Homo-oligomer: A and B are copies of this chain.
Amino acid sequence: MKELSTKQSRILDFLRQFLEDKGYPPSIRDIVKGCKISSTSVVEYNLRILEREGYLRRDREVSRGIELSPRNRGIVRVPIIGYIAAGEPIPVPSADTWSALGIAESLELTQELTRGKEGVYALKVKGTSMVDALINDGDLVLMQHVETAENGEMVAVWLKREKEATLKKFYLEPGRIRLQPANEEMKPIYADPEDVEIQGKVIGIIRKLE
């Protein structure tokens, strides 16, 4: 997939917005106005490219015959890139993971859950080692790829020395890091900052039952 020109991303953004607002796609002349383009044929030209690159599908000769690819709608497809378990390293998304599309399982969510965040992925919980985070075997953990964390955020950390993966609330204290289980009744653990490797931020939990 080639890089998109600024004009093309603007058109794509406009399409998304228009579709969300009005519930139907814009006409070519709507795009002309909305993106401050000077001619219908310029839009035609760029739509042709966007279609070739797979961002949308068009029905010829049909007014407003534009269908956005699913990932461009209000619905987001989140890849389930692997499992998270106590004794195993936490999978981290890489360029590879994203390009290897289709193969992995995925999850369809509304923006309501992801809140439009970039770099969102999901991990499936294996085992009951996360019960202190009120997370069960089989739960889906919605993650955002981050390098650092703010105090109070729930993060996935890899404890190097203990060789252990865990989900805890993160608090940076003088000289140490406090990792607090979500279950307030349980005691926090303290770790050397050197020992803590932040693998991502937890932005949601989804548990499907029955």
A interface, CB within 8 angstroms of B: 22-25, 27, 57, 59, 62-68, 74-75, 107-110, 112-113, 128, 131, 134-136, 153-154, 182-185, 201-210
Contacts and interface: CB of A to CB of B under 8 A. Distances in A.
A75 B110 CA distance: 8
Given A23-B25, A24-B62, A128-B183, 12 more contacts: A23-B67, A23-B68, A63-B63, A75-B75, A75-B110, A113-B206, A128-B184, A131-B134, A134-B135, A134-B207, A202-B209, A206-B206
A125 B136 CA distance: 17
Contact of A207 (B22, B204, B209): B204
Given A24-B67, A210-B154, A183 B108 contact: no
Contacts of A205: 205-207, 209
A18 to B, nearest CB: 11
A28 to B, nearest CB: 12
B67 A208 contact: no
A135 B136 CA distance: 10
B210 A23 contact: no
Given A109-B112, A136-B134, A210 B206 contact: no
Contacts of A207: 134, 204-206
24 contacts: A22-B67, A23-B68, A24-B24, A24-B25, A63-B63, A63-B64, A64-B64, A107-B112, A108-B112, A128-B184, A128-B185, A131-B183, A131-B185, A134-B135, A134-B136, A134-B207, A136-B182, A154-B209, A154-B210, A201-B210, A203-B209, A204-B207, A204-B208, A206-B207
A68 B64 CA distance: 16
Contacts of A68: 23
